[in-house]
Amino acid sequence: MIIALTRFDALGGSFERLPLGLTTPEMAAVMGAMGCRDALSLDGGISGQLLLRDADGAVRSWPGLRSVPLGLIGRAKH
Q: What is the pLDDT of residues 7-65, one digit of tens each?
A: 666 666 666 656 566 788 988 999 999 999 998 887 666 667 788 888 898 998 887 77
In the prediction, which pLDDT does 63 show? Answer: 79
Closest CA to 27 of 45, 39, 10: 39
Structural domain tally of the chain? 1
In a domain, 41, yes or no: yes
Whether residue 28 lies inside any domain: the answer is yes
What is the pLDDT at residue 4? 81
Residue 3 belongs to a domain: no
4 CA to centre of own chain = 4
Burial (CB count <10 Å: 0-12, 13-18, 19+), residue 48: buried
- In angstroms, the Cα distances linking 4 to 17, 24, 34, 62, 78 are 15, 13, 10, 11, 24
Residue 70 predicted with pLDDT over 70: no
pLDDT (0 to 100) of residue 44: 66
Asked if the structure places residue 76 within a domain, the reply is no
